[in-house]
Copies of this chain bind each other. A is one copy, B any other.
């Protein structure tokens, strides 16, 4: 399961290291996308960009950064799926329109992109990528005669779905968050400017001091006059993606006032209250289950320990293992701590279950290593609906929570007992109110109408 993207924008007129700072920020956001990375910078109306398939540190090096000059810029990392992916879909998207050049980077997913694209094509527009961002760029260009600010406002009023957008246009840095605020976007102060980023962990690595989250339905325009705020749509309820807290965001990030680690740990405590079990040890599926496991242990009084060791050198791509060695391959990533768990009754904490295949392998590994019991406690409710707002969940039929009962799942994965956190528990753990969160993947309660056909990647050239 993969988050779609991470974005960053920096405005620092006195700085000479904006391209480098953008890269630093993207490294901090790398967990949000490992497929491609790119930055676009502008200086004196000259726009330059570089983007390529790969991790930030594979795409950029000193020689490339030395060729890029700008004091305003944006950056983007894109997710990796197992399927085919194209370099032409890397972001930022840089286009020329009547008023000059514009660069855009987008995190989220539009539910009416195809409809708008079709309308634009009716008027003769052409498309060179399959990313929603190109639709947004076209809309802004169509409205350029209204002036920059109004052109963006009119454009985002037409699009539906989730979006945290950073834009460079007319030497300004612009940030936009969708009316539901589904994807996060926050603002920090630099010594000589500002930074916008998907997560606050990116503020930290560029030396930013957190100011505030961008509000749902808000656009900020950053230039030499500071930060101007425009509220373009306040008719919708806030609906921050609960899955950011559950799995995607970095634990040290703060989203809409709630720290991710603290949310997970709190949820872990509630999980312990809701689903206690007698056992010898609480262990986590690293790394995303760690905070919840610490909370569970604290609440239950059962000691926390390390039961699974992660190989930090196990990268993304490797030799395709043959059938015989496929089973071994899982051990390349995680290995059981025999000495800690042998003869022990374990409570295994995972952040969520999507397909259930990994859970089954891990439980088998733990039992092979001598665990006498493995009680799986999942720190979120069952995922039973696809996400339409930027999380790459599989179709419903592959969501184990949607097709199997609790006891069927428990049997399928080989656990001695299985329990999920309740929706209420999750919401309480996160610490926002129910009507400030999007919990659609758990309850189907989408904050807006979504297409019947849930496929998110139907556009192909």
Contact = CB atoms under 8 A, between A and B. Distances in A.
A363 interface: no
Contacts of A294: 304-306
A414 to B, nearest CB: 19
Interface string A270-298: 00000000000000000100110010001
A23 interface: yes
Contact of A339 (B206, B262, B304): B262
A220 B207 CA distance: 56
Contacts of A122: 98
Nearest to A251: B309
Given A96-B126, A126-B141, A328 B206 contact: yes
A94 B461 contact: yes
A339 B261 CA distance: 8
A395 interface: no
Contact of A62 (B28, B320, B327, B328): B320
Interface in A207-229: 207
B95 A127 contact: yes
Query: How often does this chain occur in the complex, in copies?
Result: 4
A125 B128 CA distance: 13
A57 interface: yes
A250 interface: yes
Interface stretch (A240-248, A330-338, A432-440): A330-338
Given A27-B311, A138-B126, A340 B57 contact: no
A332 B46 CA distance: 29
Contacts of A204: 331, 335
Contacts of A123: 123, 142
Contacts of A128: 93-96, 128
A147 interface: no
Given A98-B121, A298-B303, A60 B460 contact: no
Nearest to A291: B306
Contact of A57 (B34, B254, B318): B318
A259 to B, nearest CB: 4
Contacts of A102: 126
A93 B185 CA distance: 34
A83 interface: no
A24 B328 contact: yes
A101 interface: yes
Given A94-B461, A138-B126, A317-B57, A261 B337 contact: yes
A446 interface: no
Interface in A83-109: 93-98, 101-102
Interface string A8-29: 0000000001001101100110
A61 interface: yes
A32 to B, nearest CB: 10
A458 interface: no
A313 B31 contact: yes
Interface string A120-162: 0111111110000000011001111000000000000000000
Contacts of A331: 28, 204-205
A315 interface: yes
Contacts of A314: 27, 57
A252 interface: yes
A367 to B, nearest CB: 15
A452 interface: no
A184 to B, nearest CB: 16
A290 B254 CA distance: 24
Closest 10 CB pairs of A and B: A124-B142, A30-B313, A259-B339, A98-B121, A95-B126, A252-B309, A96-B127, A126-B141, A205-B331, A124-B141
22 contacts: A17-B322, A24-B328, A34-B313, A57-B315, A57-B317, A61-B318, A65-B319, A93-B128, A96-B127, A97-B121, A97-B124, A97-B125, A98-B118, A124-B142, A125-B125, A128-B128, A206-B328, A261-B306, A261-B339, A291-B306, A298-B303, A312-B312
Given A57-B314, A124-B144, A252-B336, 19 more contacts: A20-B325, A28-B332, A34-B313, A57-B318, A62-B319, A65-B319, A94-B128, A95-B128, A96-B128, A97-B121, A97-B126, A124-B141, A125-B125, A126-B138, A128-B128, A250-B309, A251-B306, A259-B338, A294-B304
